[in-house]
Chain A
Amino acid sequence: MKNKTRNLVVALLATMSLGISLGVQAADNVQSLRGRDVAAPELDPGGYVVPKDHAPTARDYVQQPPLIPHKVEGYEVSTNFNKCMDCHSWTRYRETGATKVSLTHFKDRDGKELSNISPRRYFCSQCHVPQTDAPTLVDNTFKKAEGLR
């Protein structure tokens, strides 16, 4: 009985110390998204330019969320107001000449049809993004989907 307790305590201690040392090691390996130490100087932001407003860009792959063909700097998307929906909603697109939101956005997560855009689609820029003139990060041989060429 006594031995059992001692063994348990030893095992527990061993597990804990291993856990701590692994944790420390893991912390050493963690690299922030920024890729630098907090105290290190900022990375060069690149100064990439968002192209001027242009006609909608064709899709490159099936089910690609259409890209934003204009600047979105300073556009408010908050609990009070969604700037995107001020032009792209079904009540506004005729007046503004914007592309209207896809009807797929009117479904809730259970596939039930709603009478307007589902709140889960509220944050447009989670999927729809503008482009800049930045070069590709890695060389690649990407080709447009066959049916979209």
Chain B
Amino acid sequence: MSYDNNRGGLWGRLRGAGLGLVLLVFVAGILFWGGFNTAMEWTNREAFCISCHEMEANVYQEYRNTIHFSNRSGVRATCPDCHVPKDWTHKIIRKIQASKELWHHFLGTVDTPEKFNGKRLQLAQNEWARMKATDSRECRNCHNFEYFDYSIQGRRSTRMHQDGFSEGKTCIDCHKGIAHSLPAVEQDIGSDKGGAAPEVFHPTEEKPAGAQN
């Protein structure tokens, strides 16, 4: 009887302490996670992106003239909508990669329009490659081509979208430079511009063998 009582008391005390600890960790976890996520979301805003003058003076000014900034219905895509993945795993990976951008901000790698334009080809190609690798995931957060209504699309888009999808193309294969100015692209008019090669600008690797062009 007394043995049972002792054991019950010890177990009870242990259980009490354990529960208290679990509860403490649980609450601390909520606070930490909430704080971490709030801080991360705080960096996921247009205002945060353009608080660096590299973004504000270059890419933001170009973006202001495009349909993703201003349009008839006012539905916008801000910087993180296209440049930061929505789901957590990919978002945290991208955010860790972005620490390199912080490093280059402090180094001043692109802190003048001249330096920025000097790097534009490389920066654009990085972003094209990222979009290509994810099958234009960030575009498809809003634009779902399974729900395209070709009867109300324009003559050209109806044709090009259906051709493109049947060839296994993804948005970025054609839609480059839609929100920012393009880097030099080689189009063989006049002297060599030293820009993006035609096969980079219009990737052709998915095309079925024997297709023209």
> Do A and B truly interact?
yes
A21: interface (CB < 8 Å): no
The total of chain A residues at the interface (CB under 8 A) is 27
Min CB gap A109→B, angstroms: 13
A119 near B182 with CB under 8 A, answer no
In the complex, the chain A residue whose C-beta lies closest to that of B153 is A53
Instruction: From known contacts A80-B184, A80-B193, A82-B187, infer whether A70 and B156 are also in contact, taking CB-CB under 8 Å.
Output: yes
Q: How far is the CA of A48 from the CA of B193 in the complex (A)?
A: 37
B155 near A89 with CB under 8 A, answer no
Contact with B along A104-126 (1 / 0, CB 8 A): 00000000000011110010000
Contact with A along B168-206 (1 / 0, CB 8 A): 000000000100011111011110010100100010000
Instruction: From known contacts A53-B156, A70-B154, infer whether A85 and B187 are also in contact, taking CB-CB under 8 Å.
Output: yes
In the complex, the chain B residue whose C-beta lies closest to that of A78 is B181
A94: interface (CB < 8 Å): yes
Q: How far is the CA of A94 from the CA of B212 in the complex (A)?
A: 8
Report A20-62 residues with CB < 8 Å from chain B CB.
52-55
In the complex, the chain B residue whose C-beta lies closest to that of A54 is B155
In the complex, the chain A residue whose C-beta lies closest to that of B120 is A80
Q: Note all chain A residues with C-beta closer than 8 A to B154.
A: 52-53, 70-71
Q: How far is the CA of A52 from the CA of B213 in the complex (A)?
A: 28
In the complex, the chain A residue whose C-beta lies closest to that of B160 is A96
B65: interface (CB < 8 Å): yes
Q: How far is the CA of A89 from the CA of B155 in the complex (A)?
A: 19
Min CB gap B197→A, angstroms: 12
Min CB gap B140→A, angstroms: 22
B112: interface (CB < 8 Å): no
Q: Note all chain A residues with C-beta closer than 8 A to B212.
A: 94-95
Min CB gap B2→A, angstroms: 87
In the complex, the chain A residue whose C-beta lies closest to that of B188 is A116
Q: How far is the CA of A61 from the CA of B159 in the complex (A)?
A: 30
- 23 residue pairs from A and B, CB less than 8 Å apart: A52-B154, A53-B154, A53-B155, A53-B156, A55-B155, A71-B154, A76-B181, A79-B184, A80-B183, A80-B193, A81-B177, A81-B195, A82-B187, A94-B212, A95-B213, A96-B156, A97-B156, A97-B159, A116-B188, A117-B189, A119-B189, A119-B190, A122-B189
The 9 closest A-B pairs by CB, nearest first: A119-B190, A53-B155, A53-B154, A81-B182, A80-B184, A81-B185, A116-B188, A95-B213, A117-B189
Chain B contact residues, CB within 8 Å of chain A: 65-67, 154-157, 159-160, 177, 181-185, 187-190, 193, 195, 198, 202, 212-213
Chain A contact residues, CB within 8 Å of chain B: 52-55, 70-71, 74, 76, 78-82, 85-86, 89, 91-92, 94-97, 116-119, 122
